[in-house]
Structure 1
């Protein structure tokens, strides 16, 4: 009996240890509003540091470096417990036959999203052993894989294949989403959007953008970024230029639906913007125009059993030699009935400098604009993934926080403001925390997401120039045994590592 009690007690203890191994509350208690820089490395100039991934097994950071077009590479950096970053021999991407756009890591495997030398041709995903840097597999995907990620269980590798047109806009490949099954000998399904052509009218009515010259819906769609559910069964993919999110069944291999994201009304007080870079001031005010959200990065999180995604509503335009949608309001003819004070609005200190799209707004096709649509949300949104409904939008509050931190760049007011581009979510003290990269503020905004309908601001963290990638490393996987934020900044080519203080 004594031996049986011992065995039962030992089994229970082991079970508790195993269960607790995944409990966030066993990580050190940290103050999520006190992140500060602990390590940094300079990889070169512009584009030398874009997207990074972290490998727990080797404590290596893998960073896309496209500073030199002829010799693109993936930097291999070693992060030590002594708060130093050592540069190791990089991966020569040019030898793989293309340009790296993104990287991701899972269980000792590095996935590199490789754009073909001919951007409009199909790309590939290259799988590399994180220890030996040996190439394990090369898998074909759609045109211009812009982002790659692993599912939480490591089974699926998913790419957002943007399929951008060439500069002349004479070749426009279809946008696609590729799903690679690592448990089925890396078999791949590349999903396209032809099946949604019949929903065109409904999608457009909801704020979906479809405007590329002579493009079908499948050609016009440009997948940008991927978030995957905690159970590894669903993905949500931003279609940035189209102002939408696609929901994907990873197990069944199908695109389930498209969520059009609508527009924000800049006449609503909470959505006020500073639209001019020529008024010698930062002043948020309301105007009789709307703006498309056009999200870039997207990240998943869960609160009380409900799944959500958060989007960085950066905004983006099609601006090619063969077609450009961009125009400043000062150059447009405004309908006098819709805009009775049009001459005042067009002043450079008011709306005249603001960039809007020419693709929409002439509702009666008479050559003047009856409505005006700006580019980008200048903030972030949160969606309930079960319903597809936006449960929160930051409005003007994010930019107001940046102004208060003395980091707002008024020269970008006429474009897309702070340009929230990257976003990731990490668990700190058992609660989800969002890190929103602000490309034009050179900063990351940090928010608690404990209540997804009312995020709580924690900190504006200065970064390198034009942060492109934001990556969270939980304390349980960190060499310092503390949570880490790794920021890759495209403008100055730096990779910086940040860590919070203890209370």
Structure 2
């Protein structure tokens, strides 16, 4: 109750200055208060129907990836009280959609080929009449697409996943489309093959069967600087972030993200779904950050990349790294057997990888690892950790919404709440609000990150308990249909789009 009261009453008034003339400045107040509430929910389709949504400020329409019907579903939200469904864009002739982005009346759609390992496409449409303008061939399995802030480029993260037998493993890549001349440049990671050993020593993962680094990397998500000169790309399964120079069209660096120490009090977690209790404890386990969505933000002139540390395992018929900890044999010189770590009430149920922990290959594990970090992290532009939210997500959900905690404890043995997506709202360059979508908790966390070194938890947004937020989208007040800042949440399980507004 104290937290909710603080949110409702909290109101900062910052001031921006503009000059009516050279003598008399005009002071315009900027309301930076934050209190998001549910506005409306749009039913897009059945389970899996709603993944990623983009907004066209010109037509006031939402364009949503609808996997269920293999289309882009369109809704007019000019009147938020009564959204209107419009004719959709069918993609049956091209493949399956994964992502959408919009800039000034142009809609970009990332489409994977019917054979995932083949090159994919970026389709460019006019949002006014849904006409196809251009199509571009990019790398295998384009999983995320975005426009540069200046609108001159489209960038796609091409995941390059193997087939289920793991006999065909295309290179992961990044495609840059120059919209001024329609040139497509697809970058691979071959230049980093020689750095594989040094990158792995810092926590980067290259572990697919018979794969070098270039084949093994799987680009997941793209964030671009406000000057449109630099992109950062999350490499989820590999536990890294790549930095891309969009001017020279080169991958400048790979930043290994290392590991999180769950033995520290600030990083406690619930590791079992079979202990009949929701409780955070310290464990001798390391979390592999493995970010999914990332977002760029510039605060007080400093650039940051924020990651949702979901985690992801490779689990194919031809190769699987995933086991539970009770399948392991612990090194008795490292672990105290009296503590019975591998009991299912302790760590036995926690999912882990066979690719880490046994440094001397004697069949006995010296270190324990788990997927993801159950947190969001703030990184510098060169991959240094500025802040990690530790156990904040677990602590707040356990305190305020016990039944939602780790999907009512059912996911404690896996990746917890699964932070899937992140988005930032900049209010008048005075206050910066971070939204973190929790796929398994059916919730969105709200934090103030105006001080990136010490974010402050504000509130939890919860609507239905079967939503599974997949994508987040901020619509700023100046572009919004009702003049208020909006948060648009694409929900995979419920096939809905939920809209919250800042009151």
Q: Per the shorter chain, which TM-score range?
A: over 0.9
Contact kept, 8 Å, 1:52 with 1:488, in 2: the verdict is yes
Counterpart pick for 1:88 among 86, 110, 129: 86
Unaligned runs of at least 5 residues, structure 2 = 1-18
The 1:275/1:239 distance shift into structure 2, 3 A limit, reads: same
Q: Which has the higher helix share?
A: 1
| 1:397 maps to 2:392 | yes
- The separation in 1 between residues aligned to 2:259 and 2:22, in whole angstroms, is 50
Shift of 1:342: 6.9
> Contact 1:175–1:192 (CA<8 Å) still a contact in 2?
yes
2:483 aligned partner:
481
CA contact (8 A) 2:118 2:141 kept: yes
Q: Aligned to 1:231, which of 227, 232, 237? A: 227
**1:469 pairs with 464, 468, 471, which one?**
471
Distance in 1, matches of 2:52 and 2:209, equals: 31
Between stretches 174-183 and 343-352, larger displacement belongs to 343-352
Shift of 1:27: 8.7
Query: 5 Å matches for 1:96-495?
Result: 97-184=94-181, 186-341=182-337, 344-385=340-381, 387-406=382-401, 407-408=404-405, 409=407, 410-429=409-428, 430-464=430-464, 465-495=467-497
Q: Secondary structure of 2:452's match?
A: coil
Aligned equivalents of 1:411 and 1:193: distance in 2? 38
Tell me, in whole angstroms, the C-alpha distance in 2 between the residues paired with 1:335 and 1:193.
36
- Post-superposition offset of 1:168: 0.6
3-state SS of the aligned residue for 1:94?
A: coil
| TM-superposed deviation, 1:268 | 1.0
| CA-to-aligned-CA distance 1:1-29 (integer Å, 9 cap, x gap) | xxxxxxxxxxx85999xx99xxxx96962
| Partner Cα distance (2:22, 2:257) in 1 | 45
> What's the CA shift for 1:82?
4.6
CA distance in 2, matches of 1:324, 1:197: 23
Give the equivalent residue in structure 2 for 1:496.
498
Residues 463 and 487, structure 1, Cα contact 8 Å, conserved in 2: no
Counterparts in 2 of 1:4-15, with a 5 A limit?
Answer: 13=20
Compared with structure 1, are the counterparts of its residues 110 and 395 closer, same or farther at alpha carbon in structure 2 (3 Å cutoff)?
same
Counterpart Cα distance in 2 of 1:450 and 1:377:
23
Paired with 1:53 and 1:362, the residues of 2 have a C-alpha distance of 44
Aligned counterparts of 1:74 and 1:405: Cα–Cα separation in 2 = 36
TM-score between the two structures when normalised by the length of structure 2? 0.92
Q: Secondary structure at the match of 1:75?
A: strand
Quote the offset at 1:333 in angstroms. 1.3
Count of matched residue pairs? 477
Matches within 5 A, 1:20-31: 29=31, 31=33
| Number of the residue aligned with 2:37 | 36
Secondary structure, aligned partner of 1:200: helix
Alignment partners' CA distance in 2, 1:302 and 1:26: 23
Per-residue CA distance 1:351-408 (angstroms, 9 max, x = gap): 00000111111111111212111110100000121x4211000011121111122121
* CA distance in 2 between partners of 1:112 and 1:326 (Å): 32
**Quick one: distance in 2 between partners of 1:498 and 1:14?**
39
SS of 2:340's equivalent in the other structure is: helix
Cα 1:72–1:367 shift into 2, 3 Å: same
> Any conservation in 1 of the 2:387–2:452 contact (CA below 8 Å)?
yes
CA deviations over 1:152-211 (Å, ceiling 9, x no partner): 111110000000000011100000000011112x21100000000111111001100110
Taking the aligned partners of 1:214 and 1:463, their CA distance within structure 2 comes to: 45
After superposition, what is the alpha-carbon deviation per residue over 1:64-111, rounded to whole angstroms, capped at 9, x for unaligned? 0111xxx4000011112353211101100112x200000000010000
Q: How far has the Cα of 1:343 moved from its partner? A: 6.8
Q: Using a 3 Å threshold, how does the CA distance of structure 1 residues 335 and 189 change in structure 2: closer, same or farther?
A: same
**Deviation of 1:303 (Å):** 0.9
Shift of 1:449: 1.2
Structure 1 unmatched runs, 5+: 1-11
Quote the Cα distance in structure 1 between the aligned partners of 2:339 and 2:164.
Answer: 34
How far apart are 1:31 and its partner, in Å?
2.8
- In structure 2, how many angstroms separate the alpha carbons of the residues matched to 1:331 and 1:490? 32
Matched residue, 1:51: 52
